[in-house]
Structures are given as structure tokens and as C-alpha cells.
């Protein structure tokens, strides 16, 4: 099945002093989702934003908010991010004691649920989760900072997960985040990804360049 390629720009690379304007700009430039990286300085070595900022950004676009939680323990914050306006919440198996319970709780909030695999987390982790998730996110860098280089061996993981998804017959999006640019994007797509998170590559060149950047990432 040929699937449309979705682009979810990471606002981690946006101008934080003008976040509302930046979100409106990528919306007008043709992004599909808005990727929001939430980091706590504990699970990953960086601190970004909380549910208050997500709530403040919500009026600036109707595009889905794709919220990637890099926080631990994660379960106590799921309700807050759903209430702030998240449409998709992705969590790491390592961020709480019971990943299946976390996924079920996200779905109970009326939000799509995703699982994130770090570079060292095997695809096999999905064996007993794939029947419950709406999204699988493969990290092609170690989480925590933008602007890192793509880890090549994650292409094999993307391909393996694509086979798992196809075998399941379920409508699951396969997202890749980390080091995605005009060179690595087509390789991730060829391996089986259908959602690309791109921060630096989207926001390079200022608002006037965003539409062209998104088009190139999509393969246009």
C-alpha cells in the first residue's frame, strides 16, 4: 500500500521567542502535524516545555499536535498534555513501569497513542504492543537535542517495523525522528517511514523557506 508522506516539523528548532508565529508559519507552509518535544532534564539531558506551552500554542493551528514525551515518570503527565490539546502522545517504554498501561491510558483520554524506540531499543519491544498503538516512532538519534547526525543502523529497524506493521494489517503510522534532512529523508521513506520529524531542515532559512523545505522533505 502506497501511503502519503506526512511532515511533522519539530518546534524544538523554531524561534522560541516567537513560537506562536512559527507554528502559524509552518501550518501555512503545508506541514501535516506539529511535533512537540517535551523534555524534563531527567529522562533526557535537556529541558524544553510543559503542558502550559502546548495549551498556549493550540489556538494557533488546527493541525494535529504530535507530542513526544521524553519525561519520566511519564504516566502522571498524560492527562495534562491531553487536556492541553495533544492529538497524539508518544511515550518511551523506559519512561514508566508498564508501557502497555501507559498506552491504554492515552487511548482512554481520546488521544492517539504512540510508542517510541530509542536507537538501542529493539523492534522486538513491539511484539505485544503493536495491536494497541496508532503510531510507532523510531529515534534515529539519541533523544535530548536537535541537530544530531542520523544513526545509519536505524534504517534496518525502520524496515523491520514496516514489515511488522504490514503483517498486522492495522492502520499504524511509522515515524522517524533525528537527523532528518534532504539527504536522509528519502532513505527513511525507502526503508518504510511515512511520517518524518524534521526540525533543523524545516526551519532553516526563515519563514519564507518553510514551504520549499517541507516540499523537499516530502520528496516533491
Helix (H) or strand (E) holding 100: helix 99-108
Q: What's the predicted TM-score (pTM) here?
A: 0.96
- Quote the percentage of the chain above a pLDDT of 90: 95
Q: Which residues pair with residue 68 across a beta bridge? A: 37, 90
The answer to whether residue 177 is catalytic is: yes
Please, what's the largest Cα pairwise distance for the chain? Answer: 45
- The whole-number average pLDDT for the span 16-28 is 98
DSSP state of 208: G
Identify the DSSP state of 154.
Answer: H
Q: What are the pLDDT digits (tens) for 31-75?
A: 999 999 999 999 999 999 999 999 999 999 999 999 999 999 999
Share of the chain above pLDDT 70, in %: 99
**pLDDT at 2 (0 to 100):** 64
Point out the catalytic residue in the list 32, 66, 177, 194: 177
Residue 182 has pLDDT above 90, yes or no: yes
User: Residue positions in the annotated binding site for a divalent metal cation?
Assistant: 35, 37, 68, 177
- Taking a C-beta distance cutoff of 8 angstroms, is the pair 89, 38 a contact? no
- The pLDDT of 198-207, averaged and rounded, is 97
Provide the annotated binding site for substrate: 10, 68, 144-147, 177-179, 199-200
Tell me how far apart the alpha carbons of residues 160 and 158 are, in angstroms, rounded to a whole number. Answer: 5
The domains located in the chain, with CATH, are: 6-218 (3.20.20.70)
Confidence of residue 80 (pLDDT cuts 50, 70, 90): very high
pLDDT at 1 over 60: no
What's the rounded mean pLDDT across residues 165-183?
97
pLDDT of residue 102 exceeding 60, the answer is yes
What is the distance between the terminal CA atoms of the chain, rounded to a whole angstrom?
A: 19
Contact 191, 24 (CB under 8 A): no
Three cell numbers at 33?
502535524
- Does residue 37 carry a catalytic annotation? yes
Of 32, 37, 181, 194, the catalytic one is: 37
Region 92-99: mean pLDDT is 97
pLDDT tens figures, 137-165: 999 999 887 778 999 999 999 999 999 99
- Give the list of residues 6+ apart from residue 32 with CB closer than 8 angstroms, or none: 6, 7, 8, 63, 64, 195
Residues 6+ apart with CB under 8 A from 76: none
Under DSSP, the state recorded for 44 is: S
Amino acid at each position: 500500500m502506497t501511503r502519503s508522506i506526512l511532515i511533522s516539523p519539530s518546534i524544538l528548532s523554531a524561534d522560541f521567542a516567537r513560537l506562536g508565529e512559527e507554528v502559524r508559519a509552518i501550518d501555512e507552509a503545508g506541514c501535516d502535524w506539529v511535533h512537540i518535544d517535551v523534555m524534563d532534564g531527567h529522562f533526557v539531558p535537556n529541558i524544553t516545555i510543559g503542558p502550559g506551552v502546548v495549551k498556549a500554542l493550540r489556538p494557533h493551528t488546527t493541525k494535529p499536535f504530535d507530542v513526544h514525551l521524553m519525561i519520566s515518570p511519564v504516566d502522571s503527565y498524560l492527562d495534562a498534555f491531553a487536556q492541553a490539546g495533544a492529538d497524539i502522545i508518544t511515550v518511551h517504554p523506559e519512561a514508566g513501569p508498564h508501557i502497555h498501561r501507559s498506552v491504554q491510558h492515552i487511548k482512554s483520554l481520546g488521544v492517539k497513542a504512540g510508542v517510541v524506540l530509542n536507537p538501542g531499543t529493539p523492534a522486538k519491544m513491539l511484539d505485544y504492543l503493536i495491536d494497541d498503538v496508532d503510531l510507532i516512532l523510531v529515534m534515529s538519534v539519541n533523544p535530548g537535542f536537535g541537530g544530531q547526525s542520523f544513526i545509519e543502523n536505524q534504517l534496518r529497524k525502520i524496515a523491520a517495523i514496516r514489515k511488522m506493521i504490514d503483517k498486522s494489517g492495522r492502520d499504524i503510522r511509522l515515524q522517524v525522528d533525528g537527523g532528518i534532512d534532504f539527504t536522509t529523508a528519502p532513505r527513511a521513506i525507502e526503508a518504510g517511514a511515512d511520517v518524518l520529524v524534521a526540525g533543523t531542515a524545516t526551519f532553516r532559512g526563515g519563514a519564507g523557506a518553510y514551504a520549499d523545505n517541507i516540499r523537499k522533505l516530502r520528496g516533491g
